[in-house]
Amino acid sequence: MIQIESLLNEFCPKGVEFKTIESISIKIVSGGTPKTNNMSYYGGNIPWLRTQEVNFSEITDTSMYITEEGLKNSSAKWIPENCVIVAMYGATVGKVAINKIPHKRK
């Protein structure tokens, strides 16, 4: 088993203080997918980020949009602009991005 001290030495160079994600975050959430068989949930004006769009970049747009109904009937969430997004699943797991999409579109 790897000791936490060896991980800290690997990921925190000398002089860099180790902090947990909880200690530097305001809020940590995960999102969700509206049911894909309900077409009334898709094609709205709410940007919906898919994990494959998280790729070490700034996110200025998404390839899919959902409706208010899709948002209300799923675990999808509004994420304010300038948040750190971390892919937790799929081929992009572990990749990060910065959300540059406004909290709500007009």
User: Does a structural domain hold residue 67?
Assistant: yes
User: Does a structural domain hold residue 3?
Assistant: no
Question: pLDDT (tens digit, 9 = 90+) per residue, 65-80?
Answer: 999 999 999 999 988 8
pLDDT of residue 13: 74
User: Does a structural domain hold residue 91?
Assistant: yes
User: Does a structural domain hold residue 105?
Assistant: no
User: Does a structural domain hold residue 88?
Assistant: yes
pTM listed for this prediction: 0.75
Full domain range(s) for residue 81 = 28-99
User: Does a structural domain hold residue 17?
Assistant: no
Question: pLDDT (tens digit, 9 = 90+) per residue, 2-14?
Answer: 566 666 667 777 7
pLDDT at 26 over 90: no
The residue written with tokens 């000791």 in the block is 3
Question: pLDDT (tens digit, 9 = 90+) per residue, 38-94?
Answer: 999 999 999 999 999 999 999 999 999 999 999 999 999 988 899 999 998 888 999
21 vs 52, more confident: 52
Q: What are the φ/ψ torsions at residue 89 (nearest 5 degrees)?
A: -140, 165
User: How many domains, the chain?
Assistant: 1
User: Does a structural domain hold residue 47?
Assistant: yes
User: Does a structural domain hold residue 50?
Assistant: yes
Q: What is the CATH number of the domain that holds 70?
A: 3.90.220.20
Asked whether 98 and 58 are in contact (CB, 8 A), the reply is yes
